[in-house]
Amino acid sequence: MSYIENIYVCLAAPILLAIMLLRREARGSLAFTLMGMTSCLLSAYVSSFAAGAAGLGLAEASLEIAPVVEEVMKSLPILFYLLVFAPRKGDAIRGTIMVSVGFATFENVCFLTSYGTEDLLRLLIRGFGTGAMHVTCGMVVAIGLFFLWDRAWLRVVGGFALLCFVIRFHSIYNLLVNGSGPVFWIGSAIPLTFILVYMIAFRSSVRIS
């Protein structure tokens, strides 16, 4: 059994100190990373509770409950940032990506403590795959929110639709990486492919400055 709150304390402490010492953009990026890790911790609690309440097993919960809870929890810090600070587009998109990175990092650390560190290749694929998946989901929400809709109410309804999209993307990723052999490889490759396509095709048209 892993005590994820203890892991969280160990990881969060140096980041918290750095946040106090640094200024401006570096501080903001680290704060978002910490928020992502906090979202991951909280979503683990909420997912466990919701799965228990719905009477689902581990496999079904990881497909039906966990993606919903994780994506919603991950979007909360960004929603707070958007509503309270009304940031510029670039800042908001950067913040979303850093929250996703923090989330993926904490999730990977918890995975390491639960499943061991022997198989480097599998961990490498999982590390890149999970990271790419969370970053892809965050980017879809952020870019969609800022580039598809220009009015507040459209952003709310559109944000719901985008959240639905990334939740299902996350579910399919979980479904595939729970498999073995080629299924695992394909599952891990999908989000990485999305990131590569974005870097090649969209980078020039949707620049994050």
Partner 1 sequence: MVFVNENLIQSAVLIACSLVSISKAIKYKSRTWSLLSFFYGCWLIDDVYWMLYALFFDGKTPTLSVLSDLNWYASYVFLYFLIRQVAPPYTRRETRVIPWLAFVFTFSMAAFYMQWGEVLSNLIYANLIGLLLFSVIRRLMDLDDYRDILLLCAVSLFFVAFEYGLWTASCFWREDSLFNPYYWFDALLTLSFPFFIAATAKAVRS
Binding site for partner 1 (CB under 8 A): 54, 56, 60, 63-65, 68, 144, 147-149, 154, 157-158, 160-162, 164-165, 167-169, 171-172, 175-176, 179, 201-202, 205
Please count the CA atoms within 13 angstroms of the CA of 15 that sit on its side-chain side.
19
* Amino acid identity, position 104: A
Nearer to partner 1, 127 or 158 (CB): 158
State the minimum distance, in angstroms, from the CB of residue 154 to partner 1.
Answer: 7
Instruction: Report the C-alpha gap between 204 and 197 in whole angstroms.
Output: 12
State the minimum distance, in angstroms, from the CB of residue 63 to partner 1.
Answer: 7
Nearer to partner 1, 18 or 175 (CB): 175
**Which of 69, 188, 74 minimizes the C-alpha distance to 140?**
74
Nearer to partner 1, 205 or 209 (CB): 205
**Which of 175, 10, 162 minimizes the C-alpha distance to 75?**
162
Instruction: Report the C-alpha gap between 62 and 161 in whole angstroms.
Output: 21
State the minimum distance, in angstroms, from the CB of residue 79 to partner 1.
Answer: 18
State the minimum distance, in angstroms, from the CB of residue 100 to partner 1.
Answer: 19
State the minimum distance, in angstroms, from the CB of residue 67 to partner 1.
Answer: 9
Nearer to partner 1, 49 or 160 (CB): 160
**Which of 94, 95, 126 minimizes the C-alpha distance to 109?**
126
8 Å CB contact between 130 and 107: yes
